[in-house]
Every structure is written in structure tokens, then in C-alpha cells.
Amino acid sequence: MLRILHDTNYDFIRWWRTAAGLTIAFIVIGLGSLAIKGGFDESVEFTGGTLMQLHFTGAPDQAKIRSALDAGGVHDAEIQTFGTPNDYTIRARSDSGSAGADSTSRKISTLLETGFGKDAFKVVRTELVGPTVGSELRRGAAIAIIVSFFVTLVYLAIRFDWRFGVAATIATMHDILTTVAFMKIIHLELSLTVIAALLTVIGYSLNDTIIIFDRVRENLRKNRREPLYNTLNRSVNETLPRSILTHATALAATLALLFFAGEVIRPFAWVMAFGIVTGTFSSIYVASPILLWIETKYPRESEVKSRKPKPAQA
């Protein structure tokens, strides 16, 4: 079995102030850009647009379809196969109303005729796509995030202690804020795929934090007199080999999607790749220091008793 970084004794927690400064600066830059430049660019699911179903006489190169549309000013179109390699659907933004949809569909047809030839394809159907998600999806996503926080807090408070639940929830909030900041910094378009990735990041981050906290709980039971600072560092070091193997595997798969899976899945891969990094970061440099701070302010009863001096022997 592959064994790496076993029996390490790194003092991770000592760098929490530097880590906190860096992550706060990153969040401020991203959210500041969000406030100054406005919200995210939204995909067709949110804004509405034109849907075209096309049948090609031969299987076309999807990259060539995108190049033809981009050359004519139809950017960020969603191009997907539809059943067979010869059938494609194209979703593109358009002005509201049927007139806007007709204008956009004619433009797409003209661009594809220029790139592939007039007889290379036929338009099966064209329709106007309304903003089917809009406020309903935003409300649903907000509810999902709030419910996940509440369920996580209850679960960790029952299984561990309320201090662990608060620390894990704050760490997850950190991951959401940093991911939103990252999306704005790289100008990532808000879409259903991106929201799915954001919710996946929440689960991934919580899983990583729970694994470290579970080891912290075990070590606290083994050595009740050990300072929590030392217990946290030891727990992170003991889970380090598992964390590196898990995160490296997940990141490798995500990077493969990012570089080779195509334009449609790339936003999901961007968010997931960053989420793996920020989830690992927050488990060590956000959740653990916050747990340490809470323990200092509201120590456990057993901790208070261990600090009391023993009565002198007569």
C-alpha cells in the first residue's frame, strides 16, 4: 500500500492568521468586483433565448460549430448533441419575444451555412426559450444552502458537540463566499451547471471537515489533558495522507474535465477544481482555528475541570 506523509508533525494551525488574511483579501476582491461591476452574467436558462434543433447530413465537429457562431458574434451558445451524433441543439441568447428569436435563429442558420454549406444541415425546429429557472431557482438554491447549514449544525451537534457544528458551518460559508468570489474574478457565467457545482462543493467541503473533526474527537477521548491546539494539529497530520490521496484523485479527474470535456462542462469543472482547493483550505485554516477560538471562549466542562489545580495533600 502506498504510504506518504505518515507520522508528520507539521504545525498547521500556527499559520492561521496569514491564511485568514489571504482568504479575506480574496473574498473582498471578488465580492467588491461583484458589487461594483454588478452581478454575474447569466446563461440562457436565466435570461431566455433561442432554441434550435439541427440535423446534419454528417456528424459535424462541435468545435467548428462554435467557431462559426463565435465568428458571427453569437457567443456563449450552448451546443449539445441531441440523440445521435448528427443531431444538435443550440441555445443562444436573443431579444425577448418571438421577433428576437426569429432574428437570432436566422443569424445562426446563415452562419452555419457559411461554415458548413447550405445543404449540410436542416433546421428541425426553432422556439423561444423563456427564463424557466429565474427567481424560482435562485430561491430554491438559497433554501437548499440554508437547509444544508441547519442539518449540518444539528448533525454535528448530536454526533460531536455544538462547537464543532458552528465551526463546520462557518467553514462552509467561507467556501461559498470564496467560490462566488472566484466565479466573479474569472467572469464565469451563472448557469444551472454552475449552481450544481456550487452545491457539490458544499458537500465536498463538509465531508472533509467532518473527517478531521472525527479524528479530533477520537484524540480528545484518548488524551483529555492535551491542549486542543496540539490535538488539532495532530488530527490534521494524521488525516494528511488520506486527504492528499483523496484530493489529488478528485482534482485529477476534475482537471481532466476542465481541459478535455468541452465547453458545456467546463464551468462545472472550474468551480469543482477551485472547490477542492478551498474546501481543503477551510477544513484546516478556517474550521480548526474557529473551533479553537470557541473552545477558548466556551470551554467544555471536562476541560475546565482539568485546568483546576488539584488540592494539596495533607
- What pLDDT was estimated at residue 310? 46
Domain that includes residue 263, residue range: 13-39+134-302
Beta strands across the sheet bearing 78-82: 78-82, 84-93, 49-56, 121-129
pLDDT in tens, 235-258: 888 888 888 888 888 889 889 888
Q: Cell numbers for 255, please give them.
A: 482537471
pLDDT in tens, 188-238: 877 778 888 888 888 888 888 888 888 888 888 887 677 888 888 888 888
DSSP 300: -
- The answer to whether residue 310 is domain-embedded is no
CATH number at residue 140: 1.20.1640.10
CA distance 105 to 91: 10
Question: HSE of 254 in the Cβ direction (CA atoms, 13 Å)?
Answer: 20
User: 129, 148, 163: which is the final residue of a domain?
Assistant: 129
CATH number at residue 110: 3.30.70.3400
Q: Do 107 and 148 share a structural domain?
A: no
Phi-psi sector, 141: left (phi>0), alpha (psi -120 to 50), beta: alpha
Instruction: State the average pLDDT over residues 264-283.
Output: 88
- The answer to whether residue 101 is domain-embedded is yes
> pTM (2 decimals)?
0.73
User: 98, 129, 160: which is the final residue of a domain?
Assistant: 129
- The answer to whether residue 32 is domain-embedded is yes
Q: Do 203 and 227 share a structural domain?
A: yes
Higher-pLDDT residue of 34 and 263 is: 34
Confidence of residue 129 (pLDDT cuts 50, 70, 90): low
Strands (E), the chain: 49-56, 78-82, 84-93, 121-129
